Amino acid sequence: MKVYYEQDADLELIKSKKVAVIGYGSQGHAHALNMRDSGVPEVVVGLQPNSGSRKKAENEGLKVMTPAEATQWADVVMILIPDEKQSVLWANEIEPHIREGQHIMFGHGFNVHYNLIRPPEGVDVSLSAPKGPGHTLRDQYQRGFGLPGLVAIQQDATGTAKDVALSYSKAIGNTRAGVIETSFREETETDLFGEQTVLCGGIVELIKAGFETLVEAGYAPEMAYFECLHETKLIVDLIYEGGISNMNYSISNTAEYGEYRSGPRVVNSETKANMKKVLEDIQSGQFARDWVLENQAGAPSFAAMRNRMNTHMIEEVGEQLRGMMKWAQNDRLVDKSRN
């Protein structure tokens, strides 16, 4: 495994380029602002005229163009709009304006790996993917730190693709923590698997199931919220800091014994077998096909599932309790009025 750090990347390369960031969501705002603060002189944001993010970008002093205008203008084009919208935008506003020698970048390999986007020959195609949400990327950069990242090269038409991708990664702060070299396939499949089985799908369903089990047994929803959701951050912070052994060092012997005795009763061989099925769906492209079809139909199932989650009792109880914990609301990563 090859890992690159600050000394392995030349910031001057990306500073000599005109860079367009297409999108200004969680990742887009962080990439654009971090590059600006790293001294990249020519950074524009590509957004539709009716985008609600235009004012946010302009309020930060960033120049905004349409995606088509930004593509025509830029040397480096980083595409950071949601996966499900990329192929249509690519076909209509980006691909018609690509010229030989340009560098096309992605923050996630989904569309390229599953052949929803097929860049033409004659352009560089690379990946620069921070391993964390954009709001965290921005927060860590402002604190003088960085998130680990990934870099991958799909096409190297100019012979400089890797150097430019590393320079870009340095500008957004990833080389401060280390950038791992990978491939579009590996980044895409591991990212989807991690999100679905552990980081988002697994953790959320585990929290909900624990909360529901306690409430259904007659315990106060507030107690269930604290035990199954609120304290998750405290445990994860310890694991993040020094691994599972660091967490076990900090908790009580009673809690550690319960971990060994009861954890495997909840997450067991059947759970792992289901994880393997999830991975098979990702590797075969079945998940990607289902997600594309869902969006082509207007995303009715997705909207219904989102609504069920947003109206779950744990969200209602949590909103009330967080309102009582003003200290926990300081230094919020997400401010919807700005990012």
- Catalytic residues, which ones? 108
Helix axes 184-194, 269-284, angle to 10 degrees: 140
Distance CA 308, CA 321 (A): 20
**Other CB atoms within 10 A of residue 331 CB:** 6
Q: How far apart are CA 220 and CA 217, in angstroms?
A: 9
CB 168 within 8 A of CB 14: yes
- Enter the DSSP assignment of 23: -
Please name the residues in contact with 33: beta carbons below 8 A apart, sequence gap of 6 or more.
60, 62, 138
Residue closest to 150 by CA, chosen among 108, 207, 104: 108
* 204, 228 Cβ separation under 8 angstroms: no
Whole-Å CA distances, 137 to 10, 171, 196: 20, 12, 21
Q: Which helix (H) or strand (E) element contains residue 237?
A: helix 231-250
What is the dihedral sign for C-alpha 264, 266, 270, 275? negative
Cβ contact 202:123 at 8 Å: no
Mutual orientation of helices 26-37 and 134-142 as an angle, nearest 10°? 20
Candidates 138, 125, 12; CA nearest to 79 is 125
